[in-house]
């Protein structure tokens, strides 16, 4: 028993020592910068483990080189040309850096007359210094003063702007977001050239210090929703944020659902369109996907080119997408229900053909569908993970070979292969991947319901899903709006898409102020004279 208490005391002592050590380290990091240049450089080397990519350049200025200066930056995160031309050369050739210079005068001279770069910040403590150094800024340390200068020299290799890979359009912009948050913000600002486009930035992640920015249209976006987004982001306390998916999972209203309540896109025009409707965009550094909140269910079936095409074409295509979604959701379940419980719904000739196929199949329809669905999911994942050169070939050949072999072996029927293949194609036709993968998961629940109760089970599952969708919220906005609750004024951009000249108002539940987005009488107006142009030309020729 005594050894138990001794071990407990030792553990408590170790815990107290580790807490004291961490407190000392945090206090150390928040301490002010030292006067001694050698001490400061030694702290930087120890803190970074004397990493090989930390570059330190020593410069001597003033009378007889008495003033010692050190330039510190992280190789690979900076623009080397800016450092060489606008920092080091300016410091070496500037006449104001000659003669008698006190450390304080040298610091002021460099900030005002020497450094030919935009972002110049005076740093006082180690927390700020290491944050800026690790972000790609260049640090200038001067011996004899407990301050440093941070110069904005972020650079390095970045992926160039290319075409979006997940949201392809026939008509529309070919620009897509990159992994640079500054580039992504600039792409949106090129579209919306208004001072009312406000941006707020913060850093999230204790280790990664990831740059996160929220963008919204002041005067259009709901101030309560903006404050809610801001509060949820500020509450995040995590070691690191590596992608916008981290943020999405931490700020959504409800996690116990397969349906996404935050929209994400890699198209600047989609972000601009949603901002003009009153939504908030969340940019995360290191990912090309921008989050948009609040999101509604019908939004996941809209594509950017719906607003670039004529309203009748956009309406028909959007209606087709919604029908495709329901096909991908209930097609296998409907086949299971018909073949298991409701054979009277099948035409006689088709029923005889299906019965002949099922004679050699040893499994019920539910097991057939389960085998084929799992097989297709495996092929889908294999096609994504394999190298691009062979991924598509393996997935296509694998589907053909496995499907044909399964039919010949009598494991599944040909009709089931057709139904599952049609379901897989329908899931690919859904414009948003996040809602398509939700359908892939919910599909199995529909299959179980159909195998248990037939069409009654499918209807029951549809009712449960509808109730669940109506109960969801996205930052306080009903997920099924404007269908439930039904808002007639906003119904013109749901399943149907009315002409632009009739969509005068922004969504009521999204925008708080400035509801009107276009003037009166924007519809096309034909000229009063309905005569042909050639007839007018002929009359003028006769008069001449």
C-beta of residue 332 within 8 angstroms of C-beta of residue 419: yes
C-beta of residue 117 within 8 angstroms of C-beta of residue 133: no
Residue 363 lies in a domain: yes
Residue 117 lies in a domain: yes
Q: Is the pLDDT of residue 524 over 90?
A: no
Residue 20's pLDDT is what? 46
SS3 for 236-278 is: CCCCCCCCHHHHHHHHCCCCCCCCCCCEEECCHHHHHHHHHHC
Residue 25's pLDDT is what? 44
- At residue 409, the 3 state secondary structure works out as coil
Domain range enclosing 212? 181-295
Residue 541's pLDDT is what? 59
Residue 469 lies in a domain: yes
Selection from 459, 475, 477 nearest residue 467 by Cα: 459
Residue 393's pLDDT is what? 65
C-beta of residue 446 within 8 angstroms of C-beta of residue 327: no
Least confident stretch, 251-255, 323-327, 374-378: 374-378
Cα gap 422→328, rounded to integer Å: 8
Residue 105 CA: distances (Å) to CA of 32, 37, 72, 101, 138: 20, 16, 20, 6, 20
Residue 26's pLDDT is what? 43
Kind of pairing, strands 120-123 and 210-217? unpaired
**Backbone phi, psi, residue 24, to 5°:** -65, -40
Residues 327 and 452 reside in one and the same domain: yes
What are the pLDDT digits (tens) for 256-302?
A: 899 999 999 999 999 999 999 999 999 999 999 999 999 999 999 99
Residue 491's pLDDT is what? 87
pTM of the model: 0.85
pLDDT, mean of residues 431-455:
92
What are the pLDDT digits (tens) for 2-16?
A: 443 445 445 454 545
Residue 344 CA: distances (Å) to CA of 5, 20, 337, 413, 416: 76, 77, 11, 20, 18
Residue 330 lies in a domain: yes
pLDDT, mean of residues 515-543:
67
pLDDT, mean of residues 300-327:
92
Residue 6's pLDDT is what? 45
Residue 516 pLDDT grade (very low, low, confident, very high; cuts 50, 70, 90): confident
Residue 301 lies in a domain: no
Residue 160 lies in a domain: no
**Token digits for 192?**
């919306």
CB neighbours of 79 closer than 8 A, spacing ≥ 6? 153, 154, 155, 156
Residue 41's pLDDT is what? 94
Residue 485 lies in a domain: no
C-beta of residue 465 within 8 angstroms of C-beta of residue 329: no
Residue 18's pLDDT is what? 46
Residues 380 and 288 reside in one and the same domain: no
Residue 170's pLDDT is what? 86
Residues 19 and 47 reside in one and the same domain: no
Residues 18 and 42 reside in one and the same domain: no
First to last CA, the chain: 122
pLDDT, mean of residues 103-123:
88
Residues 67 and 198 reside in one and the same domain: no
Residues 24 and 35 reside in one and the same domain: no
Residues 424 and 455 reside in one and the same domain: yes
- At residue 216, the 3 state secondary structure works out as strand
CB neighbours of 542 closer than 8 A, spacing ≥ 6? none
Least confident stretch, 311-315, 354-358, 381-385: 381-385
Which spans in 68-139 are helix H?
A: 80-83, 89-93, 103-109, 126-134
Report the run of H or E that residue 215 belongs to, with start and end. strand 210-217
Residue 421 lies in a domain: yes
Residue 334 CA: distances (Å) to CA of 274, 422, 444, 447, 457: 37, 13, 12, 8, 10
Half-sphere exposure of 92 (CA within 13 A, CB side): 11
**Residue bearing tokens 């995360």:** 284
For the chain, the domain total comes to 4
Residues 318 and 462 reside in one and the same domain: yes
**Residue bearing tokens 């007889």:** 64
pLDDT, mean of residues 357-383:
85
Q: Is the pLDDT of residue 179 over 70?
A: yes
Residues 412 and 463 reside in one and the same domain: yes
Residues 105 and 10 reside in one and the same domain: no
Give the gyration radius of the chain's Cα atoms. Answer: 32
């Amino acid at each position: 028993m005594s050894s138990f208490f001794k071990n407990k005391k030792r553990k408590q002592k170790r815990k107290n020592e580790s807490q004291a050590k961490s407190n000392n380290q945090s206090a150390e990091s928040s301490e002010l910068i030292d006067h001694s240049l050698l001490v400061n450089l030694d702290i930087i080397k120890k803190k970074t483990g004397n990493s090989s990519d930390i570059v330190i350049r020593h410069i001597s200025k003033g009378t007889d080189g008495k003033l010692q200066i050190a330039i510190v930056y992280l190789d690979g995160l900076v623009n080397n040309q800016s450092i060489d031309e606008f920092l080091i050369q300016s410091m070496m050739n500037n006449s104001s850096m000659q003669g008698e210079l006190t450390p304080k005068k040298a610091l002021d001279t460099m900030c005002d007359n020497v450094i030919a770069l935009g972002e110049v910040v005076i740093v006082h403590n180690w927390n700020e210094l290491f944050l800026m150094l690790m972000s790609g800024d260049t640090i200038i340390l001067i011996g004899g003063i407990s301050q440093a200068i941070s110069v904005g020299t972020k650079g390095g290799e970045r992926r160039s702007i290319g075409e979006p890979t997940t949201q392809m359009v026939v008509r529309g912009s070919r620009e897509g977001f990159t992994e640079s948050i500054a580039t992504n913000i600039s792409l949106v600002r090129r579209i919306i050239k208004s001072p009312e486009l406000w941006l707020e930035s913060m850093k999230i992640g204790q280790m990664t210090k990831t740059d996160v920015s929220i963008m919204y249209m002041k005067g259009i976006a709901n101030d309560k929703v903006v404050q809610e987004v801001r509060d949820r982001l500020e509450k995040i306390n995590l070691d690191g944020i590596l992608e916008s998916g981290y943020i999405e999972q931490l700020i959504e209203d409800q996690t116990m659902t397969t349906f996404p309540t935050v929209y994400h896109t890699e198209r600047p025009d989609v972000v601009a369109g949603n901002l003009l409707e009153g939504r908030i965009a969340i940019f995360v550094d290191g990912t090309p996907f921008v989050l948009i909140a609040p999101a509604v269910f019908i939004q996941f079936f809209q594509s950017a080119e719906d607003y670039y095409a004529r309203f009748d074409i956009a309406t028909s295509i959007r209606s087709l997408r919604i029908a495709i979604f329901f096909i991908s959701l209930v097609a296998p379940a409907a086949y299971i229900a018909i073949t298991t419980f409701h054979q009277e719904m099948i035409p006689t000739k088709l029923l005889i053909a299906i019965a002949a196929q099922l004679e050699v199949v040893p499994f019920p329809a539910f097991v057939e569908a389960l085998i084929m669905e799992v097989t297709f999911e495996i092929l889908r994942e294999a096609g994504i993970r394999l190298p691009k050169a062979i991924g598509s070939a393996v997935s296509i050949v694998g589907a053909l070979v496995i499907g044909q072999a399964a039919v010949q072996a009598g494991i599944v029927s040909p009709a089931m292969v057709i139904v599952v293949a049609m379901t897989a194609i329908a899931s690919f036709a859904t414009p948003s991947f996040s809602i398509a993968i939700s359908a892939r998961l919910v599909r199995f629940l529909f299959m179980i319901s159909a195998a248990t109760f037939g069409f009654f089970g499918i209807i029951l599952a549809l009712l449960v899903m509808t109730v669940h969708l109506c109960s969801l919220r996205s930052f306080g906005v009903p997920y099924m709006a404007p269908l439930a609750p039904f808002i007639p004024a906003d119904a013109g951009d749901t399943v149907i898409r009315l002409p632009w000249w009739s969509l005068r108002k922004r969504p009521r539940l999204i925008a708080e102020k400035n509801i009107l987005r276009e003037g009166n009488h924007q519809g096309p107006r034909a000229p009063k004279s309905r005569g042909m142009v050639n007839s007018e030309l002929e009359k003028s020729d006769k008069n001449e």
